Amino acid sequence: MFSGTFSGLLIVGNLKPIGLSYGAAKVYATIAISMFAIGNSLGRIIWGRIMDSHGGKKTITTALLVMAVVVVLVLVLSSNSLLFIIVALLVGFGFSANFVLFATEVTHIYGIENLNNIYPSVHLSYGVAEIIGPIIGGKLFDINGSYDLAIIIATSISAIGAVAYITIRSRNKNQHTI
């Protein structure tokens, strides 16, 4: 959960300045914030449907890889104002997966009766990401004058999260570990 939320929060916490720094028009950089929220809302429904069809392991892995791809698109497409708002929608979509998939997966692995005991520990990673993601993005901009490194780090963390999730779930098929 940390991997997906860190990336999304780094971007949304700096979304308007990211757009402006890459040359998106001010109005589009502002609209991008609403587009992120729309993607976040729609994504929760769509990711839930995907998980119902394909199960947790495949869907969580896919969601983390989607997040890595859409975050790198911020770097590649943000100089075009229209593409920037579309990318913001996609980042919101990728970010939303975390809130549907991990709670469902914890329930599938541990049972609904244990969700209230286990999920707070998983959700704590969101709190950590919420604190450090936007700050790291802003600090790296302050140091480098660019969001390039922050976006590369966010992309990498999502990709590493996907690999780590696959590894942990494969190694612990018969154990209760997320």
Q: Are 40 and 97 in contact (CB under 8 A)?
A: no
Higher-scoring residue by pLDDT: 171, 73: 73
Q: How much is the pLDDT for 57?
A: 84
pLDDT tens profile 152-171 = 999 999 999 999 998 888 87
Q: How far apart are CA 178 and CA 163, in angstroms?
A: 13
For the record, the structure tokens of 101 come out as 């998939």
Q: Give the model's confidence band at 149: pLDDT under 50 very low, under 70 low, under 90 confident, else very high.
A: very high
Q: How much is the pLDDT for 61?
A: 93
Q: Give the model's confidence band at 65: pLDDT under 50 very low, under 70 low, under 90 confident, else very high.
A: very high
pLDDT tens profile 18-63 = 999 999 999 999 999 999 999 999 999 999 999 999 988 899 999 9
Q: How far apart are CA 41 and CA 173, in angstroms?
A: 32
3-state helix/strand/coil string of the chain: CHHHHHHHHHHHCCHHHHHHHCCCCHHHHHHHHHHHHHHHHHHHHHHHHHHHHHCHHHHHHHHHHHHHHHHHHHHHHCCCHHHHHHHHHHHHHHHHHHHHHHHHHHHHHHCHHHHHHHHHHHHHHHHHHHHHHHHHHHHHHHHHCCCHHHHHHHHHHHHHHHHHHHHHHHHCCCCCCC
For the record, the structure tokens of 2 come out as 């940390």
- Sketch out the chain's domains with CATH numbers: 2-171 (1.20.1250.20)
Q: Give the model's confidence band at 172: pLDDT under 50 very low, under 70 low, under 90 confident, else very high.
A: low
Residue 35 CB partners (closer than 8 Å, separation 6+)? 85, 86, 88, 89, 92
Q: How much is the pLDDT for 168?
A: 84
Predicted TM-score (pTM) of this structure: 0.90
Q: How far apart are CA 40 and CA 136, in angstroms?
A: 22
Residue 40 CB partners (closer than 8 Å, separation 6+)? 92, 93, 95, 96
Q: Give the model's confidence band at 127: pLDDT under 50 very low, under 70 low, under 90 confident, else very high.
A: very high
- CA angle, 135 then 136 then 137, to 5°: 90
Q: Give the model's confidence band at 108: pLDDT under 50 very low, under 70 low, under 90 confident, else very high.
A: confident
